Structure 1
Amino acid sequence: MTAYAALTGAGYRAQVRDKATLFFTFAFPLIFLVVFGLIFSGQDVQESGRPYISYIAPGVMSWGVANAAVFSVAFTLMQWRRDDLLRLIRMTPTRLPAVIGSRYVLALGVGVVQAVLFTGVALLPPFGLELKGSWPLALPALVLGITAFLTIGVVIGSLADTPEAVAAIANCLMVPMAFLSGSFLPMDMLPSWLQTASRVLPLRYLNDAVSAALSGRGGTGDVLLGCAGLVVFTVVFGAVCLKTFRWSNRV
């Protein structure tokens, strides 16, 4: 068995055994969907005339998938480094790509299940999301989004030394980004200068791509633009990962 397969299998078993974390990973975004979906049920955004659900459902789903990718890898790397597991792994022929790759495939699996479950609930009559013909394009956008936010999680997990630090850094990053990128509020409701400023946030590109694919708010060009932005952020944060990654707290 390769090191990658062993790490992936161990990570999968650890996730399945942690019932509480597994449950809230999927339930947390659904809570926001239920709250916002019921509050704004049947209402349209005045600026565009589109129903709120066409903004909120793709945005909250994107944020939930991104949030899970960041937190899962950040907590894992911090814990492994604090317990000296990473130092022991480094003593074997295992290399960094195998360590990150094992977490990546798990994040992809969780993200796809999250997206399918979330979309299925959003399609129910109380919420009324209507899928457009380009909805399959949401899948590559989500994959690229998970990739980009996984690299952010690696950076956080490399810098933080305690669970409290991971939670503080990740929340300070992900919660404001959700509001500024259109996950909880339609971008059409924000001032024009803030809409422009949000272009420096990776979640904005994921939201735009998924929204264009699922609800038809834009065309294929918007999906491609969002995917291109996510690729750029992946490259940037991937380079930061190589500079900040630590195998042990002793160095």
Structure 2
Amino acid sequence: MNTYLKLAAFDFRLYLRDGLTLFWILIYPILMLLIFGQIFGNQPGAIEGTRYIDSYVPALCVMNVLSVSVFTLQINMVTYRGSGILRRFRVTPVKKWNVLASHALQGVCLVLAGAAEILIVSKLVWNIDVTAAGIAQLLVSILFGCIGFFSLGFALSGLSNSPGAASGLAMIFFFPMLFLSGITMPLDIFPTFLQHVSEWIPMTYFVNLAQGVWLGGSIFSFGLEWAVLAGFAVLCLALAFLLFRWES
């Protein structure tokens, strides 16, 4: 445990120095919130009595999980490996799980900071309804989703040997999930074919879960979403350990 805490502290300092990471997690979502919120914010939402902004807030929180997973965690792991940091860790008491857990902890901190910022701005600008129960259920949903999507980022890092290649791979996964999962716009406006495609994207179920519990649904009412995310987490976690490499 002492080894893990020292590693986590080391990684935390490096993450705080990464201005690009902080931009994509703390500034970019707010820009999207302000742009889409000003355009569609007060329009009627998919559920009667709600507004577009009410569903967009949890969707943006979920988008942050995706961004941290495929961009931040994946690229940082590739950078660590390419710079020889992981190779030096290999001859120390640091284990594979220590490395992954340390980066996952940084990811959780980034996701929670981004979510808090989104909620605060949304409350100040659009006076969204924020309740303790809603925050608690959204938090549980986000943390559970982090398991699978962070593991996806770690698994992808094992397939790239340079930050440039990692960025390209991240985009391949990020944009289809961004546009075909209901994050940016309701799925019912898409052609039937694309709606069927979205059913095969795990992010769709993550968005449904986050939006559902935030808008007042019981956390126990989304059995399919929990099942899909659990299966996705098991698969990606296994791939993360299988594809992990200490050296390029």
Deviation at 1:88, TM superposition (A): 1.7
Alignment match, 1:246: 245
Number of residues of Structure 1 aligned to a counterpart in Structure 2: 246
Asked if the contact 1:62/1:206 (under 8 Å) is kept, the reply is yes
> Is 2:160 aligned against 1:160?
yes
Alignment match, 1:130: 129
Distance 1:182 1:108, change over 3 A: same
Question: Residue 41 of structure 2 aligns to a residue in which SS?
Answer: coil
Alignment match, 1:233: 232
Please give the alpha-carbon distance, in whole angstroms, between the structure 2 residues aligned to 1:88 and 1:112.
30
| Structure 2 unaligned blocks of 5 or more | none
User: Hey, which bits of structure 1, 4+ residues long, moved more than 6 A?
Assistant: none
Deviation at 1:192, TM superposition (A): 4.6
The letter of the residue matching 1:185 is M
* Alignment deviations for residues 64-122 of structure 1 (CA, whole Å, 9 cap, x no partner): 23211332221121011112221221122221111101111111111111111111112
Please give the alpha-carbon distance, in whole angstroms, between the structure 1 residues aligned to 2:19 and 2:80.
20
Please give the alpha-carbon distance, in whole angstroms, between the structure 1 residues aligned to 2:66 and 2:183.
11
Asked if the contact 1:151/1:238 (under 8 Å) is kept, the reply is yes
Asked if the contact 1:138/1:213 (under 8 Å) is kept, the reply is yes
Distance 1:23 1:48, change over 3 A: closer
* Alignment deviations for residues 7-29 of structure 1 (CA, whole Å, 9 cap, x no partner): 10111111222344324321111
| Structure 1 unaligned blocks of 5 or more | none
> Is 2:195 aligned against 1:195?
yes
More divergent stretch after superposition (47-56 vs 145-154): 47-56
Q: Supply the RMSD in Å over aligned alpha carbons.
A: 2.1
Question: Residue 161 of structure 2 aligns to a residue in which SS?
Answer: coil
Distance 1:101 1:171, change over 3 A: same
Distance 1:178 1:4, change over 3 A: same
- Percent of aligned positions with the same letter in both sequences? 27
Please give the alpha-carbon distance, in whole angstroms, between the structure 2 residues aligned to 1:128 and 1:40.
15
Asked if the contact 1:132/1:215 (under 8 Å) is kept, the reply is no
> Is 2:13 aligned against 1:13?
yes
Asked if the contact 2:7/2:99 (under 8 Å) is kept, the reply is yes
Question: Residue 124 of structure 2 aligns to a residue in which SS?
Answer: coil
Asked if the contact 1:138/1:210 (under 8 Å) is kept, the reply is yes
* Alignment deviations for residues 175-204 of structure 1 (CA, whole Å, 9 cap, x no partner): 121110000011232345533432322211
Deviation at 1:230, TM superposition (A): 1.7
Asked if the contact 2:70/2:173 (under 8 Å) is kept, the reply is no
Distance 1:31 1:193, change over 3 A: same
* Alignment deviations for residues 36-81 of structure 1 (CA, whole Å, 9 cap, x no partner): 1001132124x65542112222212211232113322211210111
Please report the TM-score for the alignment, with normalisation by the length of structure 1.
Answer: 0.89
Asked if the contact 1:209/1:225 (under 8 Å) is kept, the reply is no
* Alignment deviations for residues 117-167 of structure 1 (CA, whole Å, 9 cap, x no partner): 111112224x34334674121111110112211111111211111111111
Alignment match, 2:78: 78
Alignment match, 2:54: 54
Please give the alpha-carbon distance, in whole angstroms, between the structure 2 residues aligned to 1:98 and 1:157.
16
Asked if the contact 1:208/1:222 (under 8 Å) is kept, the reply is no
Asked if the contact 1:55/1:186 (under 8 Å) is kept, the reply is no
